[in-house]
Amino acid sequence: MKQLLLILVNRILLRNYNLDNIQVTKKSLKKLIDFKRNKTFIPARVLSLYYFAHITAKTCLIKYYDGDIKLMLCPSGLKKDDVIISGIDIPISLGNHVLLKNIPLGTDIHNLELYPGNGGQLARASGACINVIAKESCFVTLRLPSGEVRLVSKYCWATIGRVDEKKLNRRLYKAGQNRWMGKRPHVRGIVKNPVDHPHGGGEGRSPIGRSHPVTPWGRIALGHKTRKIKKYSDFLILLRRK
């Protein structure tokens, strides 16, 4: 049943899609993970738990009582044969998908929508969770994993619990495991040729010749703010990330 949720994506041959430090394979399996959980008021049973080498979070295969099968992020503590549900007035229990306005203060959530109807966008990585710290008339105050405190509409959906963790600090047994995660070898710009990087060139251990380090494309690196000035959503951010 897991194979029903995997799509083989064929890339055009004779094209190099690999970027700096980013690995893109010609054939890959796209996981149809359900981040919206929009089948409301239909219970689903957990069939099995899965690990994928391409993502950090654990996933689980669920089967709705109407026969539909989906793949979703697995909260920590969810077990095989547990029953979960999505809806408005439902119990606040592990794995249920509910509206923010119905979630009690201090609850850990994940797979949170940033805007109503967009599907889960925040706290989807391994071990990630968001804490509900306050409620207002139209917004709910949340503390994100980065330390940022922001307002989100109370009509956004979220899943109860913390994303289950994989053992990410274990020793890799081959270099291909990093390639599965989309990682390529990192090479410092100063040891490259000047045609390949702004830091390249020179004789021996020469300096970069600039007042500030830059990216391979010439943009300022290491601490430069990249957020758009006076963005429309600035009023929603109460405390910047650490």
Is the separation of the CB atoms in 135 and 101 below 8 Å?
yes
Summarize pLDDT for 194-204 with one digit per residue, the tens: 999 999 999 98
Task: Output the CATH code of domain 2-167.
Answer: 2.30.30.30
Please state the rounded mean pLDDT for residues 30-41: 84
Summarize pLDDT for 76-134 with one digit per residue, the tens: 999 999 999 999 989 999 999 999 999 999 999 999 999 999 999 999 998 999 999 99
Is the pTM of the predicted complex or chain greater than 0.75?
yes
Residue 12 pLDDT > 50: no
Which segments of the chain belong to CATH 2.30.30.30? 2-167
Residue 163 pLDDT > 60: yes
Which segments of the chain belong to CATH 4.10.950.10? 190-242
Which amino acid is it at 211?
Answer: S
Residue 101 is encoded by which pair of tokens?
């306005």
Domain 190-242 has CATH 4.10.950.10: yes
Task: Name the burial class of residue 207, with classes exposed (0-12), middle (13-18) and buried (19+) by CB atoms within 10 angstroms of its CB.
Answer: exposed
